[in-house]
Amino acid sequence: MSSPDLNQVRIDISSTDSQLLELLSKRRKLSINVAQSKLATTKPVRDTEREQQLLVKLIEQGKALNLDALYVTQVFHSIIEDSVLLQQAYLQNHINPETVAHKVRVAFLGQQGSYSHLAAQKYFARRAEEVIEHGCASFKEIINTVESGRADYALLPIENTSSGGINEVYDILQHTSLHIVGELSVPVEHCLLVATDTEEHKIKTIYSHFQPVAQCSEYLSTLNDIKIEQADSSANALEIVSQLQRDDVAAIGNSEGGRLYGLTPIQTGIANQKQNYSRFIVVARKPIDVAAQIPAKTTFIMSVKQRPGSLVDALLILKQNKINMCKLESRPIPGNPWEEMFYVDVESNVDSDNMRNALKNLGEITTFIKILGCYPSDDIKPTNPTVDS
Ligand SMILES: O=C(O)C(=O)C[C@]1(C(=O)O)C=C[C@@H](O)C=C1
């Protein structure tokens, strides 16, 4: 048998890919139709039972076509995630028409290639056709840029799965007039990046923002005689190393950002936790409404009376109203030694009856309470198909 002609096979592959794209686009239009129908019925966007039925059927059909179950599941998890995000965006635009914009100005920490820059690109890819980027040198500058109207949104990293909460951001939230309008989690894959053809044992100085240093502490402790030089951001570290062009310096950063500065990774996956994620919040001058069909989160801050059990009493109010708390952080209140401000994230829409009731009751027993924002939850967990094997 003569072997297939590569050029012809490639032409056939390209044509099949075009058909796949057309089908994906057709499916997306159907997702919008679903969203329109849910708008009228207020049914939730997510229907995991339907997803499970879909996946089981698709796995079965896939088997008959020689496609393995894992592959089919992965492809359709990604298709369904897109469908959910698309529907959520449609419903959010419908309920907040004033936020629909062709062009948005976004402030973030650092410059091109920083994790915040990559997160901003990811978040706004679905929300605006044009993003005007506004890199800032500090969190204060970011907040100021949005408060003064020079940018529409800011992205702030709030916590990381390795190094925990970012205190400076929590403290800033106590005083800003901005509101949380969104969140997103991005995988943080730290690498050791270099500008020349060098090796790990030759590195004497590592440039990095202090957060990656904390997140990679275990790897860094295995290196001998290393000096850590602090940079303003991860991207700033990449820029310095790119300018120095030395065999004995390296930066901690992500490989995508490194590419922008002509750097190559010599070690990958150097974070303490292999599943290293950063969660960002998106803030704006005006609060938004969250459609009832979408899972929402509300963030509020509160301080309680200095007496036994006051925090427990506050949390019991959430329990009595069947509200799940997904985060609790405490930070000192400047000028009030040993008093704490509590940051609470709950899985609830601020406009729901339960949440209104809880906030009313909390108002009666707390010494201070302020809602920082209500926003769509970023957490789209893939549905598990029940596969009989
Ligand atoms: O069928 C629905 O209700 C949809 O919203 C569509 C769809 C899908 O894309 O297939 C998306 C989200 C739901 O969780 C289930 C299925």
86 ligand 1 Cβ < 6 A: no
38 is in an annotated binding site: yes
83 ligand 1 Cβ < 6 A: yes
List, in sequence order, every residue forming a beta bridge with 219; answer none if it has no partner. Answer: none
Q: Which of 23, 34, 45, 81 to mutate to test the pocket of ligand 1 (most atoms within 8 A of CB)?
A: 34
- Give the rounded percent of residues in the chain with a pLDDT score beyond 70: 99
In a domain, 384, yes or no: no
Where residue 24 sits, what CATH number does that domain have? 1.20.59.10
Q: In the chain, how many domains are there?
A: 4
User: From its phi and psi, is residue 245 left (phi > 0), alpha (psi between -120 and 50) or beta?
Assistant: left
For residue 88, the CA-to-ligand 1 centroid distance in Å is: 11
Would you state the structure tokens that stand for residue 254, as one six-digit string?
């992500």
31 ligand 1 Cβ < 6 A: yes
In a domain, 252, yes or no: yes
Using CB atoms within 10 Å of the CB of residue 259, give its burial: 0 to 12 exposed, 13 to 18 middle, 19+ buried: middle
How many Å apart are CA 280 and CA 161, to the nearest integer?
A: 12
pTM of the model: 0.88
Considering 39, 74, 95, which residue would you say is the last residue of a domain?
95
- Three-class SS of residue 292? coil
Query: Could you tell me if the ipTM is greater than 0.95?
Result: yes
pLDDT tens-digit profile of 225-235? Answer: 999 999 988 88
- Three-class SS of residue 160? strand
Same domain, 157 and 197: no
**What is the model's pLDDT at position 22?**
98
Same domain, 103 and 131: yes
Residue 64, domain extent: 6-95
- Closest ligand 1 atom number to CA of residue 383: 14
Considering 284, 311, 333, which residue would you say is the last residue of a domain?
284
80 ligand 1 Cβ < 6 A: yes
pLDDT tens-digit profile of 165-220? Answer: 999 999 999 999 999 999 999 988 999 999 999 999 999 999 999 889 998 999 99
**What is the model's pLDDT at position 36?**
96
364 pLDDT above the threshold of 60: yes
